[in-house]
Amino acid sequence: MKHLYHNTFFIDQSELTNDISFTHFSLTKKYPQNNSALLVDFKNNFKFATRCIKKLIQLKNKNINFQTVSNGKNIKYILSHYNQAILDSLIAIEIEAPKEKCIFTYEKFCDELDTVWKKYNPCHFCNNLCAAAKTDKRYSKPDGCCAVAFDLILLKKGIFTKDSFYPCPHLAKTGGCTTQNSACKMFACRYIKKNKLISLKPKQSLMYQCFFNSKQRLILSNNFFKTKEQLIDKLLEIDRTPLLYYSFQFKYLILD
């Protein structure tokens, strides 16, 4: 039996015994307010897992409960064919405080992006110059991080000029980022894209797909060189502007 969040626990389906009552999970089933522990098979399928997590979020928002007490422990989930991303998503569902939930989901999403960068290591820094800087003079200034802005929206806002350099204020003297910025982590320069040196697919992240709405995704992908704290505050911002106008008016940008 493993700890999930506070006093909520999950077990693997292989640990299921006859004395543990459970309810089968279904994407279409309507559940009463209180139920026994929920048995969920995620099928090792990302699309299906995404639908499951979204369904579980809906059930949580409707205060529909799942619990079986066994050996003094509260079992909420009985799981099969799951992974760490699914467990993190289940933890996120249980977090009540909006800011705490936002910080948790944001950090987990950034961790997933970091894992991809470490796997591919496309920049190949040497003497503070990346692979692109060694082959193209437009990248030649040694900033130690992506400094050339190609983002059309930022160009239109006048924050950058094309092919201009913008030293990141959060770059450590010894190299590396001192804050967690999702936009920087999702950005790949033209050199990387042209040479297909990395495969960044945020939509294959459960955190991205299930816990951030369309406005928040704009915030996540467009606010370069901002601190994690600034991004969290922006993600928590309540703005009733329709999405189309929210996008056209660049209301997702952090301008201070």
Number of domains present in the structure of the chain: 2
Q: Looking at 75, 94, 113, which one is the last position of a domain?
A: 94
Q: Looking at 29, 64, 94, which one is the last position of a domain?
A: 94
3 state SS of 146: coil
Res 87 pLDDT > 80: yes
Q: Could you give the CA distance from residue 209 to residue 51 in angstroms, rounded to a whole number? A: 10
Give the chain's length: 256
pTM of the predicted structure, to 2 decimals: 0.88
Closest CA to 146 of 113, 170, 112, 115: 170
Let me know whether 21 and 50 are in one domain.
Answer: yes
Domain span including residue 237:
99-248
| Cβ atoms of 77 and 36 closer than 8 Å | no
What is the pLDDT averaged over residues 222-242? 95
pLDDT in tens, 160-209: 444 455 567 787 776 678 889 999 899 888 888 888 999 889 999 999 99
Residue 253 lies in a domain: no
Res 150 pLDDT > 50: no
Let me know whether 123 and 87 are in one domain.
Answer: no
Q: Give the C-alpha distances (Å, rounded to integers) separating 133 from 94, 129, 162.
A: 45, 6, 16
Cβ contacts of 77 within 8 Å, gap of 6 or more: 4, 10, 11, 37, 38, 39, 40, 66, 90
